[in-house]
Amino acid sequence: MKTRGFAVILSLICAGLLAAGAALPGMSQAQRCIPPIQMEWTIGPDQYYSNGYYTGIGEVNYIPGSACECQASSQYTNFYIDGQISGVPDGNTAIPTPYAVDRVLPEGEHTAAISFTAVDFACGGIQDQPYSFNKIFYVDTTKPAITISKPQNNVVVSTADPIVAAEISDSASKLGSVSIGLSVGNGVCWFKRDFSGRAVYLSSIEKGYCDAANAGGMLSVPCTEDIGTVSSFNMAYDLRDYVDFSSGQDCGFIVFIDALDRVGNHTYDSYAEEHFVNFMVDQAPPNITITNPKAALDPLGAGFGMIWSDPDAPVITGSATDLSPVAKVWLTIKDETANRFWNGAEWHAATCTVNAVIVGSTTAAWEYEGLRREVMRGGIFTITAYAQDKFGHVSRTEVSGKHKKRYDLGEEEFTGYILNVKELQNTARSEDTYSFIMKPGEDVIGMTAEILPEKLAAELSPLVKWNVAGINGASGMPAPLNTGSP
């Protein structure tokens, strides 16, 4: 009992001394008062706040460095958002006290206000002044806007202009992070940039290859840029800096961009909101074919030649396909036998070209009707077709062979003919074959001749003839002709 009474008395003495502002020798300068209090607002950057992202908005706290020893509670607290009471701790709440917005706020400017009195009952019921704090803040729940201006979705571009350009903006809390992904073909190769230093999936740009395999070797390129605090950012990348286009083959890309603003609104919240464009890079020339005439065996047995589907109409047709519209198809038609070229109206010694007519666009049929039966003679011809896509890539193909000119002789029988005997030989001899003073056993006479039908048009008369040859089967009895064709 004696010891407890002494302790109580001592504490009362100390309390009285401290309340009077005095300090015992060797003791701290603690005073019986409530330390000064502040409201520490914890709203996001530049007072921007995003519903659901930052729940807390501020905290009542002591200003450090005070010698006051009391530990107050906040009392008579009122916490308002835009003049409406918001959810607040009630009654005696120890300081520090966090405060949070308790409802979804619309976009734009808002005001937070708090008032309270600080009381410390353990410190003799000491009560501090009423406090009041106000804060203007802004709600931003809008994702950054992304506009990919180039290329357009689902277009075909050339290697002369493989630029990806976009604008990313956030007019409220401003941009936090922007990353760009690029996939080649099936997605093996891609690069990604992060402009704010936030953690991202990839932190380097990888080199891609635009070829049939779409395989990806890697080339690391520094890729982190700090765009600072900006509302909008314009980017333009030349894919030639990142992709090897040396294969000359067509390939596809997907470019996608996602961004966060500084309070965490994300364009990539769902797959549907992914901002991306698909496009193709055209490197390859058109695939061109000639479908008529064909290089084929002559059904009449005249060897390998150029066979028109309709020999009376030597129309040249084909197809030319490309990723891009086929801009032009042209031909050279060469009469190899006479070493001359068709210029659309007549034959020329110098090389000439004629344009084909294109039907359709990316899957283009083409034809040339300027060649007529009457201007073609029999001989070796070479037809070379060229196709050019809209980016200037050119391909060629050709068909070459013997063209056998056909004449319509009608069905009238030849009733008259001219027989020109060209040679008679005593075929039993190896020398002196033209002697027809026959010796025993020499009874075989060979003959070659040509038979020309009468009543033919003048232009055909030198062309239509039968070359025939034969021998007599018995003395004085010619055998039937055994060779010959017109």
How many chain residues are in contact with Ca ion, going by CB under 5 A? 12
Cβ closest to Ca ion, residue 95 vs residue 284: 284
Residue 327 contacts Ca ion per CB under 5 A = no
Task: Report the alpha-carbon distance of residue 372 to residue 345 in Å, rounded.
Answer: 10
Candidates 26-34, 107-115, 275-283, 368-376: pick the segment binding Ca ion (CB under 5 A).
Answer: 275-283
Cβ closest to Ca ion, residue 170 vs residue 206: 170
**Binding residue for Ca ion (CB under 5 A) from 194, 206, 258, 389?**
389
Cβ closest to Ca ion, residue 57 vs residue 259: 259
Q: Kindly write out the interface string for residues 2-41 of this chain, putting x where it contacts Ca ion by CB under 5 A and - elsewhere.
A: ----------------------------------------
CB of 144 to Ca ion, least distance (A): 6
Candidates 258-266, 301-309, 360-368, 449-457: pick the segment binding Ca ion (CB under 5 A).
Answer: 258-266
**Binding residue for Ca ion (CB under 5 A) from 120, 128, 140, 211?**
140
CB of 286 to Ca ion, least distance (A): 6
**Binding residue for Ca ion (CB under 5 A) from 261, 307, 326, 399?**
261
Candidates 132-140, 233-241, 299-307, 367-375: pick the segment binding Ca ion (CB under 5 A).
Answer: 132-140
CB of 162 to Ca ion, least distance (A): 14
**Binding residue for Ca ion (CB under 5 A) from 128, 194, 322, 335?**
322
Q: Could you say which residues in the range 281-300 bind Ca ion, by CB under 5 A? A: 282, 284
CB of 245 to Ca ion, least distance (A): 13
> H/E/C letters for each residue in the chain?
CHHHHHHHHHHHHHHHHHHCCCCCCCCCCCECCCCCEEEEECCCHHHEECCCCCCEEEEEEECCCCCECCCCEEEEEEEEECCEECCCCCCCEECCEEEECCCCCCCEEEEEEEEEEEEECCCCCEEEEEEEEEEEEEECCCCCEEEEEECCCCEEEECCCCEEEEEEECCCCCEEEEEEEEEECCCCECECCECCCCCCCCCCECCEECCCCCCCCCCCECCECCCCCCCEEEEEEEHHHCEECCCCCCEEEEEEEEEEECCCCECCCCHHHCEEEEEEEECCCCEEEEEECEEEECCCCCCEEEECCCCCCCCEEEEEECCCCEEEEEEEEEECCCCEEECCCCEECCCCCEECEEECCCEEEEEECCCCHHHCCCEEEEEEEEEEECCCCEEEEEEEEEECCCCCCCCCCCCCEEEEEEEEEECCCCCCCCCCCCCCCCCCEEEEEEEEECCCCCCCCCCCCEEEEEEEEECCEECCCCEEEC
Residue 335 contacts Ca ion per CB under 5 A = no
Residue 170 contacts Ca ion per CB under 5 A = yes
Task: Report the alpha-carbon distance of residue 87 to residue 89 in Å, rounded.
Answer: 7
CB of 284 to Ca ion, least distance (A): 5
Candidates 60-68, 334-342, 389-397, 442-450: pick the segment binding Ca ion (CB under 5 A).
Answer: 389-397
**Binding residue for Ca ion (CB under 5 A) from 172, 223, 364, 383?**
172
Candidates 21-29, 135-143, 268-276, 304-312: pick the segment binding Ca ion (CB under 5 A).
Answer: 135-143
Cβ closest to Ca ion, residue 275 vs residue 393: 393
Query: Which residues here bind Ca ion, judged by CB under 5 A?
Result: 140, 142, 170, 172, 261, 265, 282, 284, 322, 324, 389, 393
